[in-house]
Structure 1
Amino acid sequence: MQRALWKGAISFGLVHIPVELFSAVKEHDLDLTMLDRRDFSPIGFRRYNKHTGKEVKWDDIVKGYEYKDNEYVVLSDEDLKRANVEATQTIDILAFVDAADVPLTYYDHPYYLTPGRGGDKVYALLRETLRRAGKVGIAQVVIRTKQHLAALVCMDQMIVLNTLRYDDEIRDTGELDVPAKSLKTSGISDKEVQMALSLVEGMTEKWEPQQYHDTYREDVLTLVKKKVKARQTKTITEPQPEREQPSSAKVIDLMALLKQSLGGKPGAKSAAKTETRTSAKPVTLHAVPAGAGKTGKSSATAKTAAKKTAKPARAKAPAKRAPAAQRARA
């Protein structure tokens, strides 16, 4: 059985709920070892004393806070706990807010909360209260040596504690260059919006997370097996030249891409609805020349438009003037 990362209690008002904290996620990162490319030996990292150069064992390592240059206050785990016993043992709910009011950028890491001994009834009471109120509890909790802001969320039969980032940890978006909010300023027409909505409607389905998986990790492991089978375990694959990026000067034919996604029937919701789930594929919007990748009438129309854009009509040359003698006779 999974071991609890933290034991304490949820506290709000006079309510006290004993709980245990468990990580809600497990990572599946690629376990890659750093090697010396000269002989492919693993590279080790050692803990050493910077004055003597000698290696230090884990049992001889303590934590210290540098209060001035090269001067430290040694802090043991017990010191960190005694600094504020209540904070290290309590999930203190400060307020209840609407879940929609907390932006996604604030959410960090989810944990499962389970009731401790004798806490089943009050745990169930809080869970049902959160569910019916449609609120999340905003709390503070100390995990290890850091105090986190957290949101207590009701999820099915479980209360989930999701650590939140503090406001000063969220970067300001003012410096980022994004399209204007106004569709007119961005050059988006109502027809394009309706076609995009039809595409979204055709690709809408029930949330089934088990159908999604890390295909990149699987592809890397397939490549590993392929290299092992071919006895290429010590072969270093050199990088290929980077692909030429699409020129920003090329036109994004958004309407053509949407028509292609909807089966060439702009605005036809019925076509999107009848499309099967398996055949519906998301379309990546690339900068492409007008008319590229299209068929039929829409392709011909786009090509004609591209020609007109690429070759502007020449200005009509002024009529030549008649010689002076002819003008005189006239």
Structure 2
Amino acid sequence: MRTMWKGAVNFGLINVPIKMFTATESKNISFKSLHKECHTPIKQKRFCQNCDKEVEYTDIVKGYEYQKDSYVIIEDEDLEAIPGEKSKTIDIVEFVKLEQIDPVYFDKSYYLAPEDTGKKAYKLLVSALEQTGKIAIAKVVIRSRESLVALRIYEEILIMETMHYPDEIRKSKEVPGANYDINLSENEVAMAKQLIEGLATDFEPEKYTDNYRTQLLEIIESKVQGKEITHVKEKPNTGVIDLMEALQASLDMVKKEKIEDVTSKSKKRSKKTG
């Protein structure tokens, strides 16, 4: 892993030197834009429409559009003048329970590893968080942005979750079509709850895979090998299904899958003891 940031966690009067690493990585398959005629990659140019010419990177400045087509220029000196802009500390503000924070607030995850000189202080913070069952809420400036973050324990090390500020989260009431009033029968609710209970289990992330990415990689590999691809189109489901019928069919399917699962496990045990 490549260190992307170095600093320290301020825990009261305790300073914990740390290194930060990106905790997640995108496995999305990306495509390049090619010229249809010759399959040459298309280059994106920095072009000024007003001057009708390509612009060098050194001739580009930061501009904020305060009204339509009107900009104010922000210099590097303006950003450096903001208190804390060059801060290299993660300042803990308070400690809370993780279950008090809705997942909508979380953005991206980063591992925090101790520097050699701060291993004891790091271990102290990790142990204190583990034993109190709390997480830390802190602030940190990274890449000219002050972020609200949560520090918590993940697999016995510190992980930092960047968070959205409350004013960055859109109100659910603003979602078109989400606010409506409709009556549900007791039987419908009871069957839906039964379906949820039937599918309830412990979370095991290892059993989930990106099937779309797997199939896309298979298509890419087949094309690389020069094989012909056969595309099977699914027929759209245009039928309207009664809600109660759908619930019952779903429950029957869950029961069948559970019976098959139990039978399969029983056969495996028989082979081991046989």
Q: TM-score, normalised on structure 2?
A: 0.76
2-11 vs 63-72, which moves further = 63-72
Instruction: Give the counterpart letter for 2:53 in structure 1.
Output: G
Give the structure 2 partner of residue 276 of structure 1. Answer: 261
Count of aligned pairs between the two proteins = 257
Q: How much does 1:271 deviate? A: 7.1
Instruction: Give the counterpart letter for 2:247 in structure 1.
Output: L
Give the structure 1 partner of residue 165 of structure 2. Answer: 166
Look up the SS of the partner of 1:188 in the other structure. Answer: coil
Q: Point out where structure 1 has 5 or more consecutive residues left out of the alignment.
A: 280-330
Look up the SS of the partner of 2:53 in the other structure. Answer: coil
Residue 38 and residue 270 in structure 1: after superposition, are their counterparts in 2 closer, same or farther (change >3 A)?
A: closer
Counterparts of 2:191 and 2:71, CA distance in 1: 65
Q: Is the 8 A contact 1:140 1:148 kept in 2?
A: yes
Q: Point out where structure 2 has 5 or more consecutive residues left out of the alignment.
A: 265-274
Q: Is the 8 A contact 1:30 1:217 kept in 2?
A: yes
Counterparts of 2:204 and 2:65, CA distance in 1: 52
Residue 274 and residue 121 in structure 1: after superposition, are their counterparts in 2 closer, same or farther (change >3 A)?
A: farther
Look up the SS of the partner of 1:28 in the other structure. Answer: coil
Counterparts of 1:23 and 1:147, CA distance in 2: 18
Q: Which fold has the larger relative contact order, with Cα–Cα distance below 8 Å and residues 6 or more apart in sequence?
A: 2
Counterparts of 1:272 and 1:225, CA distance in 2: 33
Q: Is the 8 A contact 1:7 1:19 kept in 2?
A: yes
Q: Is 1:261 the counterpart of 2:246 in the alignment?
A: no
Give the structure 1 partner of residue 217 of structure 2. Answer: 221
Q: How much does 1:151 deviate? A: 0.9
Look up the SS of the partner of 2:17 in the other structure. Answer: strand
Instruction: Give the counterpart letter for 1:261 in structure 2.
Output: S
1:140-170 per-residue CA deviation (whole Å, 9 max, x = no partner) reads: 1111121111111122301111000111111
Look up the SS of the partner of 1:256 in the other structure. Answer: helix
Identity of aligned residues (%): 32
Q: How much does 1:106 deviate? A: 0.8
What pairs up with 1:146-161 in 2 under 5 angstroms?
Answer: 146-161=145-160
Q: Is the 8 A contact 1:96 1:136 kept in 2?
A: yes
Counterparts of 2:237 and 2:185, CA distance in 1: 27
Counterparts of 1:257 and 1:202, CA distance in 2: 15
Give the structure 2 partner of residue 7 of structure 1. Answer: 6
Give the structure 1 partner of residue 21 of structure 2. Answer: 22
Counterparts of 1:226 and 1:200, CA distance in 2: 40
Q: Is the 8 A contact 1:8 1:89 kept in 2?
A: yes
Q: How much does 1:130 deviate? A: 1.9
Look up the SS of the partner of 1:152 in the other structure. Answer: strand
Give the structure 1 partner of residue 132 of structure 2. Answer: 133
1:88-140 per-residue CA deviation (whole Å, 9 max, x = no partner) reads: 30111112222122111111001111112322222122222222322221111
Q: Is 1:120 the counterpart of 2:105 in the alignment?
A: no
Counterparts of 1:115 and 1:162, CA distance in 2: 17
Q: How much does 1:178 deviate? A: 3.0
Residue 219 and residue 277 in structure 1: after superposition, are their counterparts in 2 closer, same or farther (change >3 A)?
A: farther
Q: TM-score, normalised on structure 1?
A: 0.65
Q: Is the 8 A contact 2:85 2:141 kept in 1?
A: no
Give the structure 1 partner of residue 195 of structure 2. Answer: 199
Q: How much does 1:36 deviate? A: 2.6
CA RMSD of aligned residues (A): 3.6
Counterparts of 2:262 and 2:142, CA distance in 1: 43
1:67-106 per-residue CA deviation (whole Å, 9 max, x = no partner) reads: 9967745317xx8567435763011111222212211111
Q: How much does 1:196 deviate? A: 2.8
Give the structure 2 partner of residue 290 of structure 1. Answer: none
Residue 88 and residue 48 in structure 1: after superposition, are their counterparts in 2 closer, same or farther (change >3 A)?
A: farther
Counterparts of 2:255 and 2:137, CA distance in 1: 44
Give the structure 2 partner of residue 96 of structure 1. Answer: 95
Give the structure 2 partner of residue 74 of structure 1. Answer: 75
Q: Is the 8 A contact 2:140 2:146 kept in 1?
A: yes
Q: Is the 8 A contact 1:140 1:150 kept in 2?
A: yes
Look up the SS of the partner of 1:263 in the other structure. Answer: helix
Counterparts of 1:88 and 1:278, CA distance in 2: 60
Counterparts of 2:166 and 2:104, CA distance in 1: 10
Task: State which structure, 1 or 2, has the greater radius of gyration over its C-alpha atoms.
Answer: 1
Q: Is the 8 A contact 1:203 1:277 kept in 2?
A: no
Counterparts of 2:47 and 2:85, CA distance in 1: 36
Give the structure 1 partner of residue 269 of structure 2. Answer: none
